[in-house]
A and B are shown apart, each in its own frame.
Chain A
Amino acid sequence: MSERSKDRLADALSLLTVVLIAVAGGVLIILLTSDEPLRALNAFFAGPFSNRLFFGNVLQAATPLLITGLGLTVAFRAGAVNLGAQGQIYIGALAATALLLFAPGANPLLLLAAIPIAMLTGGLFAGLAGWLRTRFGATEVITTYLIGAILVQLFDFLLRRYLVDPAAGFPATESLPAALRLPRLLLPSNLNASFLVALLLAGLVWWLLYRTTFGYELRMTGANPHAARFAGIPVARSFILALAISGALAGLAGIFEVTGTHGRLVTGFSNNIGWNGITVALIARLHPLGVVPAALLYGYLEVGANSSALIAGVSPRIAAIIQSLIFYLISAQALFAFYRRRLARRREAAPA
């Protein structure tokens, strides 16, 4: 076995361990809190496959994570960390929904305008953080997070102040007319056309990263920005564009949630997609095609928890607990890998 395939095997095993530990944690909590633990476990693991509704919802829950995770993969590949996807989802969705609400008529073609607007808005704010980094050296780890935090508040403020439908009884806009919504699939589940778009995007992002010159520049920038700059690769451009792409895809996930799942803008609709997207990208080991199964795993956990809540009265928060466990374990793992690499680099830098 070659060195590389050995590394891959070890990597896969460690991933599997992380997921198993997290799921075991979830099982433990179900066992401790449920009156009928066996029914609850059965509902958790088998539930998502038991009918069209649940299965469709698995795919649907995976969709925004898949799209956001793909964007974050692009950013990570260029060495950029985007901790503001949450804000970019909201602001992109807000800008695009405002257009849908205020434009006269309910022409489905409006969707074709709304989608680019969501992407542009999300992309601009993420790209801004990239520009701040390349121009002033302000680290994007902080700026994406801070700008994102502001955007989340701004979203809530604008929604409550200008877009809210008083009849709704909580901060949400009017429902969009059917013509402005995405085509539904696998009724009665929430699945819609955005899932198919997300699958296409996975292929597209793979092609962009590994088959285009732009993707090459982007990966070299991420692999070693100092060497890339010395060789004459446009590092700043790659960095900013990679962040902009991650923001654009976050915005896209946002408008898809509005026009596909919720049918309107609702406060807190993103439900941690921006953060879970990071974990999904890390589980996928930053490979665009790996993001598909990683996002599906998350969707499965989500629906499994709902199903066991419905059938056996366990808290639906189980999904969040398992996801958080995975998040912490994966982050810790990524951190260790990072320090190991740094140590190894230092050791090599010292001549023998």
Chain B
Amino acid sequence: MHALTGISLEVRPGEVHAVIGENGEGKSTLAKIIAGLEGFDRGEMLLDGNPYRPGSVAEASQRGVAMVHQHPMLFDSLTVAQNVVLNREPRRGLRVDGRAAQERVAELAAQYGLAVEPDRPVRDLAAGERQRVEILKALHRGAQLIILDEPTTMLAPHEVKSLLAGVRSLAGSGHTVILIAHKLDEVLEVADRITVLRAGQVVATVEREEATRESLLHMMRGETRTGVPAAPTAAEEQPAKPRLVLENLVIDDAQRNTRIGPLSLELRSGEILGVHAGSASHQELLELTLVGLTPVAGGVIRLDGNDLSALSPYERRILGAAFVPSDRMRRGVARTASIHENAIATVYRSQDRAGFDGQPLRDWVSGIIRKFGLRGARPQSRAANLSGGNIQRLILGRELHGAELLQRAQAQSPEASTGAQQQPPSLLVISNPTQGVDAGGVRFIYDLLRDYASRGSAILLLTSDTDELLELSDRLAFLQDGKLLGVLPGRGVTTEEEIAKLLAQANTTQGVPR
């Protein structure tokens, strides 16, 4: 199978060339090939008329090509200026000339209208500023062709505007920009020409003036998918009784200096509730409170009528709850432990007689490996050998199948119920489900979540990715500074503009500069 086939793409100097397509259609692969992160099998690339086949990022960089990633890779403890000039520092004698670096960065920032404060440590920066730092880094290294990979995914709506302005000024000063994107409004605002990818092939390249939102959508989706609305989920067909109830929930984490609440939300069977927590630390706190690692300061959490507040993570899982953490390297897996050992971590206690290593659990783990597409994974090999996407599949398998196994073990204690209907989790809390996951994995996870929702699970989706929220959620809840801003209807009803308006409103009424 090929990720891309027969791609022909021509990018003119000084233009902003958008490459669009839905998730998993090959945009990122194309970007990586140009940036020297991946190779290609057949065909040729020319850069300024000369053959170009970079074997590494460094080689691409030498030829003036740089890629800005979705999640900028910067050193948190260094300042903006230090990050920008890293490895290309202005020197005075043997020492790095810190002042010259700051001046250089300030100069670049002014020239391209990319506002940054050179002497601030990067850890204090919001996502949009990080993106700008990453772009400045590319410029400092003399990049002429800059590839932006979904630059707006992690940005708040007001940050998107200033980023797009920056992109225009890059092109205005003679740089060439390849913009990987899938948000049509942004593309139509900023691009000179637009290339549409579908299923690893170029559908068309069009001038901005010739393109409309509808024509682009049509090309992205192809004939077969136009006009077919997403299948309604159980929640839309019949209002179910609430499974998860948060009532005046207050969480106060002095250590992280983060507060949430009072927060009241309801989540029904078959419903996907998308929650935009406002910041990574609020999202993490919510996640830790729901799994049972951070105590509740006030209010109640009820699942199917049971008060969860005093229950341990294991006791919550016995009630059918499943939890997928946002930071999967830290909270999801023990990398030096085996796949088997990681897979059974939530359920081993229910297997008193056979033990943690017994045949029943071995078979169960094989089932996860098979059903969740962990191709070629051996139960006894270390979790560290898995890719990020496969680790996510492993955790999903453990949590989703684990909820079934635990409920079955629970039900068996009075009387054996062989061949009973597999019970999906009553509640799935999933945080950043697709961050750092490959395109195929993203599709798999989206389908999985919809499938479990249709089987009656209540799904609480925590993510800051507005596309993901819009794609999956039946309802959307927005928090800011721990308070509920509002709940909007989900898929197909709410638009990004409405979300932007809601967030902007909150900003002005509270007067909190972000």
- A contacts, CB < 8 Å to B: 3-4, 211-213, 216, 219-220, 223-224, 226-233, 345, 348-352
Contact = CB atoms under 8 A, between A and B. Distances in A.
Contacts of A226: 330-331
Contact of B346 (A224, A232, A352): A232
B313 interface: yes
Given A213-B348, A228-B345, A351-B69, A220 B334 contact: yes
B283 to A, nearest CB: 15
Nearest to A230: B331
Contact of B356 (A216, A229, A230, A348): A216
Given A220-B337, A232-B314, A351 B388 contact: yes
A350 B73 contact: yes
A228 B342 CA distance: 9
B335 A231 contact: no
Nearest to A352: B37
The listed residue with most B CB atoms (<10 A of its CB), out of A212, A220, A228, is A220
Contacts, number: 78
B71 A233 contact: no
22 contacts: A211-B355, A216-B341, A220-B334, A223-B334, A223-B336, A223-B337, A224-B330, A224-B337, A227-B333, A227-B345, A230-B293, A230-B325, A230-B332, A231-B345, A231-B346, A231-B398, A232-B313, A232-B345, A232-B346, A345-B329, A349-B329, A351-B73
The listed residue with most A CB atoms (<10 A of its CB), out of B291, B329, B355, is B329
A224 B335 contact: yes
Contacts of A351: 69-71, 73, 388, 435-436
Contact of A220 (B69, B323, B345): B345
Contacts of B337: 219-220, 223-224
A220 B341 contact: yes
Contacts of A224: 330, 333-337
A350 B357 contact: no
Nearest to A345: B329
B332 A227 contact: yes
B232 to A, nearest CB: 34
**8 nearest A-B pairs in the assembled complex, by CB-CB distance:** A223-B334, A232-B314, A231-B345, A224-B334, A232-B313, A351-B436, A230-B331, A216-B356
Interface residues on B, range: 35 or more
Interface in B143-175: none
B258 interface: no
Given A232-B312, A232-B346, A227 B356 contact: no
B317 interface: yes
Given A231-B313, A231-B345, A351-B70, A213 B355 contact: yes
A224 B314 CA distance: 17
Nearest to B402: A231
Contacts of A211: 355, 357
A350 B314 contact: no
Contacts of A3: 385
Contacts of B37: 352
B122 to A, nearest CB: 13
A227 B355 CA distance: 21
Contacts of B331: 226-227, 230
Given A232-B317, A232-B345, A227 B73 contact: no
Interface string B415-439: 0000000000000000000011000
Contacts of B341: 216, 219-220, 223
Contacts of A212: 355
Nearest to B352: A213
A223 to B, nearest CB: 3
Interface string B349-391: 1000001110000000000000000000000011001001000
Contacts of B345: 220, 227-228, 231-233
Contacts of B385: 3
Nearest to A215: B356
Contacts of A349: 329
